[in-house]
Structures are given as C-alpha cells and as structure tokens.
Amino acid sequence: MSSTPKMDAKLRERIISQPDVILEDQDLMRALIAANERAMGGNIVDLRGIAMDRLEARLDRLEDTHRSVIAAAYDNLAGTNQVHRAILRMLDPAEFEAFLRDLGGEVAHILRVDAIRLVLESVQNDEDPAVKRLDDVLTVAEPGFVERYLTGGRNTGQRQVTLRQVHESAGHLFGGDAPFIRSEACLRLDFGEGRLPGMLVMGAEDPHQFSPQQGTDLLAFFAGVFERSMRRWLS
C-alpha cells in the first residue's frame, strides 16, 4: 500500500486545518462512512455505523418536533395578538349600534372570519326598527334557540365554545352568506342573572378554520370580554 497521498495537497492541508468542516457536513460524513463500510467488506458488522444511523434518525425526529413546537408557538402568539386587537376595537364605540356594526365589520376582519352573528334570545318579537337596521349582524330568537342550535337536542354539556364544520347552510343566522359558510365557532354568552342567554357565531368559508380538535382558550377569553361588554349595554 502506497503512503503517498492521492488528494490534492492544498485540499488536504485545508481539511487537516479545519476538520470541523467535514464533521458538520452530513453528506460528507455519510459518504465517508459508506466508503469505510465498503473497505471493511460485507462480512463485518459496523456497530458504530448502526448506532450513528439510529442517532441520526432520532436527531431528525427531534428537529421535526422542535420545528412543530416553534410553529405552534408562533401560531398561538399570532392568534393571541388577533384576539387582543379585536377586543381593543370592540371597546372603542360609544353607542350600541356602532358597537354591533363594528362587530360585523372591523372586528370580523381582524379575526379573519367571513361573518359574525350575535343571537339574543327574547320573549318579544323582532319588529323593532333598530333590530331591522342591524339584521346583518343581529338576530333575535325565541327562548331556547341557543341551546337547540348548539346541541341539536343532544346532551353535549354546557361548553362555552363549540367549534364545528357546517354541512348545511344556517340561513336563519348567516342570511345571504349562508351558502358559503363551511365552519363556525359558537360562543355561548351569559348576560347575568335574570337575563336570557345569547350566542356569538363566527362563520368561515374555510371548512378547516374551525374544528373540534382546535384549542378554545382564546375564544373563551374573547367570549368573556364580550359578555361583560354586552352587560354594560344591556344595563
């Protein structure tokens, strides 16, 4: 075996002076390990190579997990900022009608939903002119409507936030937008003792924007702030 190097002298000197360049290059390391395995022959089991392969696979999985966690953290931060901006906008109006119009306009835009409807249960009819003017965002319904809409007659518990896909248009709530709504977030509202409940419904054309697998903490917080704002207007 000749001891004369077959590698270019300058390249050899650079590698010797900076060995980390090779160690940090995964493709080069794989090529070197493969060449070493070929030199040993097919009858020798390289336990170190097997261990490195396993460690490399575990490292890849760990990196994928880290990327997923970081992406989820960024999504959560973005969602938190959206909700905070929507709440600040919701607190601006000094009149109830402006409050509701903002709800279906700028607040919906900030939350990136295609429609928002506020449902108020009432024993009176909805012939009030103010209700008619706001029928694109406000719906007055008979007592018990919220519970029926949320549960469909099933015993699903008193969840404050319900996320689900919409397979049939909810025309009574979304009006002209109903044919395009494919998922919704339903926020149950408690206006205090002696008052009938209400509901805030956010509709999206994307069928995957709201689904039962998603977290509801931010929407529950939004619902809590909205309840308190409504109690002020209803007092």
Looking at residue 164, what is its pLDDT?
92
Domain that holds residue 151: 92-234
Looking at residue 47, what is its pLDDT?
59
Q: Which residue has the higher pLDDT, 228 or 79?
A: 228
- Residue 116 in domain: yes
- Residue 67 in domain: no
- Residue 26 in domain: no
Of the chain, the percentage scoring pLDDT greater than 90 comes to 28
Looking at residue 17, what is its pLDDT?
82
- Residue 25 in domain: no
- How many structural domains comprise the chain? 1
* 110: CATH: 3.30.450.40
The mean pLDDT value for 65-81 works out to 78
Question: Virtual CA dihedral for 192, 198, 203, 207, nearest 10 degrees?
Answer: 90
Residue labelled with tokens 């998603």? 214
Looking at residue 13, what is its pLDDT?
81
| pLDDT tens profile 105-115 | 999 999 999 99
Q: Which residue has the higher pLDDT, 36 or 144?
A: 144
| pLDDT tens profile 128-172 | 666 677 778 888 889 999 998 888 767 666 788 999 998 765 556
The mean pLDDT value for 66-89 works out to 82
- Residue 188 in domain: yes
- Residue 145 in domain: yes
- Residue 71 in domain: no
Residue 92 has pLDDT above 50, yes or no: yes
According to the 3-state scheme, what is the secondary structure of 168-230? CCCHHHHHHHHHHCCEEEEEEECCCCCCCCEEEEEEECCCCCCCCCCCCHHHHHHHHHHHHHH
- Residue 179 in domain: yes
